[in-house]
Amino acid sequence: MADVSETAKMEEEEEKHAYSVWALPPDDVEARLKKLMDGLRSDFGGPHFEPHITVVGAISLTPDDALRRFRSACEGLKAYAASVDRVATGTFPSQCVFLLFHPTAEVVETAAHCRGHFGYKNSAPYMPHLSLLYGDLTDEEKKKAKEKAIILDESISSLSFQVTRLALYKTDPEDKTLKSWEKIAECSLTSN
């Protein structure tokens, strides 16, 4: 009997962390986005982070459980197209200036599939976006940052690409510097 309670105790003691699932842009698009993000940061500040479309927002899990759920979610998932609707601004620091993507069936279904595997519940409808700048800016500063994004990359509003990789990231929501964020695993999606 002691073995069962020991195992349960160890599982209870295993630390939980916040994990997120991100859709990653292809390398050429990633380089383009990083250049744009660096340009915005040089004028408006904010932390450095990797370009990504959040598929599953931060959820508290043990490391083993997060990895198991991620691998399970990736099984059989197909690569899909993502296309930008417009450059937008938001109310949260993590959505200061972002690219809003068209919520196509493929984009929304992939998120719903992954969220189901993670048991992630959110009352707000899924809003596929790729943040360009994190920060607590005034509405006027956000407007300037949005205009600057379009100046730095005038065709960014018509960007589209194939999402062929998902990644599991450890994302501590308390870390405003984002320096503790780390990629835990990555999976390649099968071609259509």
Write out the catalytic residue numbers.
Answer: 52, 129
The stretch 83-94 carries a mean pLDDT of 88
Asked whether residue 9 is assigned to any structural domain, the reply reads: no
Residue 62 is part of which domain span? 14-188
Q: How far is CA 77 from CA 106, 143, 156, 184, in A?
A: 10, 37, 27, 19
- Grouping H, G, I as helix, E, B as strand and the rest as coil, residue 185 is strand
- Grouping H, G, I as helix, E, B as strand and the rest as coil, residue 94 is helix
Residue 47: CB atoms within 10 A of its CB come to: 16
| Separation of alpha carbons 57 and 19, rounded Å | 8
Asked whether residue 24 is assigned to any structural domain, the reply reads: yes
Asked whether residue 160 is assigned to any structural domain, the reply reads: yes
Residue 89 has pLDDT above 50, yes or no: yes
Residue 91 has pLDDT above 90, yes or no: no
| More confident call, 9 vs 140 | 140
The whole-number pLDDT of residue 13 equals 56
Asked whether residue 179 is assigned to any structural domain, the reply reads: yes
Q: How many domains does the chain have?
A: 1
The whole-number pLDDT of residue 63 equals 92
Mean pLDDT of the residues in the chain: 88
Asked whether residue 41 is assigned to any structural domain, the reply reads: yes
The stretch 120-128 carries a mean pLDDT of 85
Q: How far is CA 27 from CA 33, 51, 54, 103, 106, in A?
A: 10, 10, 17, 23, 21
Asked whether residue 102 is assigned to any structural domain, the reply reads: yes
The whole-number pLDDT of residue 192 equals 60
The whole-number pLDDT of residue 93 equals 77
The whole-number pLDDT of residue 177 equals 82
Asked whether residue 5 is assigned to any structural domain, the reply reads: no
pLDDT tens digits along 3-59: 444 544 454 557 889 999 999 999 999 999 999 999 999 999 999 999 999 999 888
Q: DSSP class of residue 78?
A: B
The whole-number pLDDT of residue 190 equals 84
Asked whether residue 2 is assigned to any structural domain, the reply reads: no
Say which CATH number the domain at 118 has: 3.90.1140.10
